[in-house]
Structures are given as C-alpha cells and as structure tokens.
A and B are shown apart, each in its own frame.
Chain A
Amino acid sequence: MKAAIVLFPGSNREGDAARALRQAGAQTAVVWHADHDLPAGTDLVVLPGGFSYGDYLRCGAIAGRAHIMDAVRRHAAAGGYVLGICNGFQILCESGLLPGVLMRNRDLRFICKRQHLRVERNDTAFTRAYAPHQAIDVAIAHGEGNYEALEETIRKLEGEGLVAFRYCDARGQVGEAFNPNGSTNHIAGIYSEKHNVLGMMPHPENLIDPLVGGIDGRGLFESLIRAA
C-alpha cells in the first residue's frame, strides 16, 4: 500500500497520519500542494488535519482549489482511495469530492476531546477491521464540524448507505446528547458514491498507541492495508 499525504500550508497532522499508516504497514510519501501529480503507484491519498491557509475564507476553501486537488480528483475518479481527516474532510467538501459543508459547531466552541463513533457499515475498504455498528473510541478537535447539506443530499446519503460514522456514546447509542457539534443526523463521516472517498471529522490517527489510552483508530488504517 502506497499512501500519499498532501501537505498544504497550515496542515499540521501529516506526521500523525504517516505514523498511523506506517504502523499498519503502508509506505508513505508527503506531496506538496503545488505539485501537479501524485507519486506513481499511489493507492491512497490522505488529506490530513490542520488549518490549511489559516482557515481563511472558509475552512478548506483555498486548499480545495489547489493544483494537487486536480490529481486527487483524477485518482478518485479512477477508483483510488482518498481519506480526508478533519480539515481534510472540509477540503473534500470544498473541492466537490464530497457533498455538503462543515459549519461552525452548534455551540460556537472549538471542541477537543475523546469521542465515540458508531461504525455504520464494515463492508468498505476503510472499515473492514471493525465489527458492524462497533462503537470506536477516537478523538475530535475542531471548530467547524457541524455537517450540513441540502435535504435531498442527506436523503441520498442515508438511502444509499453513504454515512460512514455517527457520533455516539460508549455503547453505540446515537442521540442529541452524544452529538458534540450539532451535525445533521449525528454524521461524523461520509463516503462518496463508490465508497472509495471517505471524509471524517474525528481523528482515528490519534488513537493508535496504548500510550495515549486507546488503539481503536488502528482498525481504519489496517482496513486500508487489507484493501490495497
């Protein structure tokens, strides 16, 4: 598995993403946003978390229009895997690779905490290592994670099984009380139509080492290794 991690000015989680991928057995390369091409043989593109372009204009708006995103679009159109984490999810939405938008959190606060997610389906390249509806313990750190989309888009996401993760409690219960940011239908991550592009606000790469108190994030990277 060859993974290319795209670095934008203001990205800051590329090192953690690379560490999680290498731990699972991937080879990683870092690609600069102004490049026009991905390294030959790239299986997976990762758009890491951070604050690309200082969140100027809208989170992910300027990065979503960077040169390298044309190459990412071609990669996705050819069925290649793309994973956008946190700011990477915002970039995927702004670039048109995923529908909808990440709005300010309901309570206007930046939220940084551990958060459980319910794995909505475990038959995709990103989630095979998890059990169906498993509640995984990962982390969130965002100010704009409140997923909103047109009603027809939400209907399509729900109807076609494109919701990847929902915010939940430790037992996997979904509800307003466990939704940190006001996201529609408690959505924490979504897939593209072919399930080869995943955007998610939470950080699986934070929870890959027992040293920090949990390893539930490993499953996502291990799933990808099995898929490639």
Chain B
Amino acid sequence: MKARVTVTLKTGVLDPQGKAIEGALHSLGVEGVSSVRQGKVFDIEVEASDAATAKVALAAASEKLLANMVIEDYRVEIL
C-alpha cells in the first residue's frame, strides 16, 4: 500500500531555511504569508497485511531514521 511520512521541525526549533523562503515569498509580492516552516515528505510503498501494521512499521522507520527526534516530529498517513 502507499503511505506518506511527513517530517517537520518541532515547534520552537529555529528554521533558517523556512525564514529565507518566507523572505523570498515576500520579495515576490506573495501576500498574506506570515510564516514558512520547511519539512520533508517521504512517499513509501509498503507491504503489510493491514493499515495498522503498516503504520507500526513506518513509525519505527521514522524514529530510527527518517526523523531526528531531537528536532523533528513525524506524521504517518496511509494513502
């Protein structure tokens, strides 16, 4: 089945890349942007008997490798 893991910086962790993107959007005249936080998206094909099993495996993948739990949070979605 197809799944998506989204990794984002924890609240409070400074994100200089997000800030730079935010500044670039302002300089392009895009209106209404008050904050940008950059993250990562992983689209993953996973073989599992059901969604719950897949979620457990992907949570392990996230905590072992995809996210650095000191600074990042992750979210697993089965698509």
Chain A contacts to B: CB under 8 angstroms: 57-58, 61-62, 65, 94, 99-101, 103-108, 148-150
Contact = CB atoms under 8 A, between A and B. Distances in A.
B79 to A, nearest CB: 21
Contacts of B14: 103, 148
B1 interface: no
A100 B70 CA distance: 7
Interface residues of B, number: 11
State the 10 A-B residue pairs at the shortest beta-carbon distance, nearest first: A101-B70, A104-B16, A108-B16, A101-B71, A101-B68, A58-B68, A108-B20, A104-B17, A65-B65, A106-B16
B13 interface: yes
Given A57-B65, A61-B65, A65-B64, A150 B17 contact: no
By secondary structure, the B interface counts as: helix
A107 B14 CA distance: 12
Contacts of A150: 70
25 contacts: A57-B65, A58-B68, A61-B65, A61-B68, A62-B65, A65-B65, A94-B68, A99-B70, A100-B70, A101-B68, A101-B70, A101-B71, A103-B13, A103-B16, A104-B16, A104-B17, A105-B16, A106-B16, A107-B16, A108-B16, A108-B17, A108-B20, A148-B13, A148-B71, A149-B70
A65 to B, nearest CB: 6
B16 A57 contact: no
Contacts of B58: none
Contacts of A101: 68, 70-71
Contacts of B64: 65
A43 to B, nearest CB: 30
Interface string B5-38: 0000000011011001000000000000000000
A97 to B, nearest CB: 14
A99 B70 CA distance: 9
B71 A57 contact: no
A104 B17 CA distance: 8
A103 B65 CA distance: 17
A103 B13 CA distance: 10
B66 interface: yes
A61 B64 CA distance: 10
Nearest to B17: A104
Contacts of A58: 68
A108 B20 CA distance: 9
A105 B19 CA distance: 13
Interface string B38-61: 000000000000000000000000
Contacts of B13: 103, 148
